[in-house]
Amino acid sequence: MFVYLDNSSTTKQYREVTDTVVRYMSEDFGNPSSLHHLGITAEKAMKNARNQVAAAIGVGDNEVIFTSCGTEADNTAIRGAAYAGRRRGKKIITSRIEHPAVLETFKSLEEEGFIPVYIDVDKEGMINMEQLESEIDDETILISLMHVNNELGTIEPVEEAAALKGEALFHTDAVQSFGKLEIPTKNVDMISVSGHKIHGPKGTGALAVKSNVHIKPFIVGGGQEKNMRSGTENTPCIAGFGVAAEMTHSHRSANITHMDEVRDYLMRGIIDGIDDVRINSPKEHYCASVLNVSFLGTRGEVILHTLEQSDIYVSTGSACSSNKKNSKSHVLTAAGLSDEEIEGAIRFSFSDLNTIEEMDYVLDRLKDAVGSFRRLGSFR
């Protein structure tokens, strides 16, 4: 049996998405900026995809800028807001558990003279709201806070935090919640999403920028995307991204209910069948796409490769952020987990395509893998 439980890293592309991408690569391959009918067909595909992505986020279609990925959306929002606001202040606030797409952008802005502040989280990865409130002042020009954490699945109180923003612009990285949960939009100025986490093509993303918000463009050139992101649009993949957005959005509540059942079944099986485990994901305020568990006294990386031999695919942390060996998860570290808990952590991440039958197979192989490790030590 093949079981893919690494859906927070990337997802299997839906067949309908692939068919759409192929159509705009092979037949309707025009440049959306061209004036002839091939160009107009491509432009219509862009417009359609923009409507689909905007509807799935919950913003107006004039508020969506297509980017090459979630990382570019994060960079565009954060740099764009920092450069637009630099005359008013230098303080930029985020949390310690953001994706590197956000944290590295903050680091690079620090080198340019901006003053970053990192908000702490509790054991379940929930941000400290009092600390956030006390840090926001007249110098603050940007707050960037993720909606769902990619390693723990924690749902952050984004709209509550955005209500505190004062004069600052508020950005949320909604890459992990897009297509699964309702996206927080109240008082939120900018929202990043990505295509390949929702069964869409890799190399697609979008940044929603509210129509009253002005940020500096990140990539300049021919003026595409309302001058906010120049470069000939990746029309085939954007059209496919639109299809994925519509499909996941229209089945969102059924999909999340299904993921919750599958996740709960796996979690119960682990708690009942394996000793010395710690569930790292929150008990409440979690997104059902992620379950993070520490198998104490083991090494997550070894368990991962042992499961792989049975065609089961999981992750130790955030696979898409790096493949650096032996780097300790900054998220689990910020949540205050011990070295043993971090070392033995596995992230299972689900999609609508997973089944209960698959979980029985995973539980069987997982018990074997953990048992063997504990009996023999690292046996690879």
Residues designated as active site? 320
Q: Is 244 in the site for ligand PLP (CB under 6 A)?
A: no
What is the radius of gyration, based on Cα positions, of the chain? Answer: 21
Q: Is 173 in the site for ligand PLP (CB under 6 A)?
A: yes
Cβ 283 to ligand PLP, closest distance in Å?
21
Cβ 147 to ligand PLP, closest distance in Å?
8
Binding mask 282-321 for ligand PLP (x = CB under 6 A): ------------------------------------x-x-
Residue choice 42, 77, 92, 175 for contact with ligand PLP (CB under 6 A): 175
> What are residue 106's phi and psi, to 5 degrees?
-60, -45
The C-alpha atoms of residue 188 and residue 181 are separated, in whole angstroms, by 16
In order of 45, 179, 199, 310, the CA distances from 243 in angstroms are 10, 12, 9, 33
The C-alpha atoms of residue 242 and residue 45 are separated, in whole angstroms, by 9
Look at strands 140-144 and 91-95 and give their pairing: parallel
**3-state secondary structure at position 228:** coil
Give the binding-site size for ligand PLP (rule: CB under 6 A). Answer: 16
Judged by CB under 6 A, the chain residues 182 through 201 that form the site for ligand PLP are 194, 196
Please, are residues 192 and 150 in contact by the beta-carbon 8 Å criterion?
A: no
Which one, 306 or 318, has the nearer CB to ligand PLP? 318
Judged by CB under 6 A, the chain residues 27 through 86 that form the site for ligand PLP are 69-71, 74
Q: Residue 49 burial (CB < 10 Å; 0-12/13-18/19+)?
A: buried
Which one, 209 or 302, has the nearer CB to ligand PLP? 209
Q: Is 99 in the site for ligand PLP (CB under 6 A)?
A: yes
**Site residues (CB under 6 A) for ligand PLP?**
69-71, 74, 99, 101, 146, 150, 173, 175-176, 194, 196, 205, 318, 320
